[in-house]
Amino acid sequence: MTAPIARPRILVVGGGTGGHIIPALAVARELVACAHAEILFVGTGRGLESRLVPEAGYPLQLVPAGPLNQVSLATRLRTASQLPLALFRCIRILRDFRPHAVLGVGGYASGPGMAAALLLGVPTLAFEPNAVPGLTNRLVGRFVSAAAVNFPPAARWFRHAEVTGIPVRPEFFSIPPLDAAPTHDPAQPLHLLVFGGSQGARILNSLLPPLVPALLREFPALTVLHQAGARHAEATRAAYAQACDAAETTPARWRVEPFLDNMADCFQRAHLVLARSGASTVAELAAAGRPALLVPFAAAADNHQQRNAEVMQQAGAAALLTETELRQQPALLLKTLRDLFADRDHLAAMGNSARALAHPQAAAQIAERLLALARLR
């Protein structure tokens, strides 16, 4: 048996969206807690890692990297021209930091970071949260030492893949389940959380405000919290105010915020979550045991949000509406919300189905896999 390393050094490469960086931070916390690991992140200045990683107390080095998939030719050419410099910087970071293993979480910096690790012979673990891997993981999947995936269909893209689920902050798993309640009891509190991801969802920001007065009239105990994104919060708040003032509905029953930091608390209060279906959102819904109405982002790379939502729908954990359906039939959103709120027993059952998909040991499993690879270094 290989002896443990006194203080393993783990390099985490990638980022961009919360779906990439939030699970990476959960694994980093587990590595520090269980092995006193030294962690270094490599990302770009354009992704969420530039804010979240320093806030979490980990060092971050930046490399010039950008998108290649589903972007204009000019953007692809610009990104391609940056790749040699990004690869050179990643090689230098690897030689300076001398990691025992590298975790690639997808996103812009993951490509040059994982390529550098493969060139230098450093053990690599790819993490794939979506049902369909992103471009970077599809390119490196056959060369990595091992992989951790959330959905079984993604395993075929990698060597030595294991279904671990997505690491989620532990406070989500301590959220109590929803109670079933009398279906038509107007005194029973109801809370709708509208969550469009860290940037907000434009289609939800535009379609929901005019519908809210009707929901508030039909369900007298309903309250709404809407996370609209920093760029759209003011306009969304104004749309709510205009619609609700005209209907003489009190503002105390709705609230619009640009960003929500205490997501576990927000999920705990919610009886239904109206959301996109990014990997982290889906994992948090499962961990919290909360039912959802999912509206996948139609322009997501490789249509991965649609695939994520379909898995939740097939498990009985979520209802699904596409952007095309909503644009063609805006009233369908109101009807679906009404139907869901009218059956509290069904909401509770959906929450239980969501929790059955959770992976409470995901961070520990991925950390242990990394440490096993590190011992081979």
pLDDT of amino acid 73: 59
pLDDT of amino acid 4: 67
Which stretches of 121-229 are DSSP H helices?
135-140, 202-218
pLDDT of amino acid 85: 81
pLDDT of amino acid 198: 67
147 and 188 inside one domain: no
Pick the closest to residue 137 from 111, 163, 118, 103 (CA basis): 111
179 and 125 inside one domain: no
Task: Annotate 23-34 with DSSP letters as a single string.
Answer: HHHHHHHHHHHH
- Rounded-to-integer distance, Cα 193 and Cα 267, Å: 7
198 and 308 inside one domain: yes
**Does 109 have pLDDT greater than 90?**
no
Residue 116: pLDDT band with limits 50, 70, 90: very high
pLDDT of amino acid 65: 66
Residues spanned by the domain of 56: 9-167+361-375
Provide the domain count of the chain.
Answer: 2
134 and 182 inside one domain: no
> Distances from the Cα of 170 to the Cαs of 246, 259, 261, 288, 335, in angstroms?
42, 21, 15, 10, 34
Residue 150: pLDDT band with limits 50, 70, 90: confident
Per-residue pLDDT tens digits for 300-342: 766 778 988 998 999 999 999 999 999 999 899 999 999 999 9
pLDDT of amino acid 58: 97
Residue 249 in domain: yes
**Does 1 have pLDDT greater than 70?**
no
222 and 208 inside one domain: yes
Residue 124: pLDDT band with limits 50, 70, 90: very high
pLDDT of amino acid 369: 96
241 near 251, Cβ under 8 Å? yes
188 near 348, Cβ under 8 Å? no
Q: Which residue has the tokens 């992976």?
A: 359
Strand order in the sheet with 222-227: 254-257, 222-227, 190-195, 272-275, 292-294, 318-320
Average pLDDT over residues 153-172: 90
Residue 77: pLDDT band with limits 50, 70, 90: low
Residue 256 in domain: yes
pLDDT of amino acid 154: 87
Per-residue pLDDT tens digits for 170-220: 899 999 998 766 555 666 789 999 988 767 788 999 999 999 999 999 999
- pTM summary value: 0.81
247 DSSP 8-state letter: T
Residue 255 in domain: yes
pLDDT of amino acid 69: 57
Of 57-61, 187-191, 361-365, the least confident: 187-191
Looking at every residue in the chain, the average pLDDT score rounds to 88
336 and 190 inside one domain: yes
323 and 225 inside one domain: yes
Structure-block tokens of residue 189: 């509190």
295 and 158 inside one domain: no
146 near 162, Cβ under 8 Å? yes
pLDDT of amino acid 267: 96
pLDDT of amino acid 108: 80
At 185 the three-state DSSP class reads coil
**Percent of the chain clearing pLDDT 90 (strictly above):** 60
Residue 3 in domain: no
State which H helix or E strand residue 62 sits in. strand 60-62
150 and 196 inside one domain: no
- Rounded-to-integer distance, Cα 283 and Cα 26, Å: 13
Of 138 and 12, the structure prediction assigns the larger pLDDT to 12
162 and 181 inside one domain: no
pLDDT of amino acid 138: 87
123 near 376, Cβ under 8 Å? yes
**Does 272 have pLDDT greater than 60?**
yes
pLDDT of amino acid 248: 59
191 and 314 inside one domain: yes
267 and 305 inside one domain: yes
CATH number at residue 92: 3.40.50.2000
Average pLDDT over residues 56-66: 87
pLDDT of amino acid 3: 62
Residue 144 in domain: yes
Average pLDDT over residues 57-66: 86
Residue 2 in domain: no
pLDDT of amino acid 307: 87
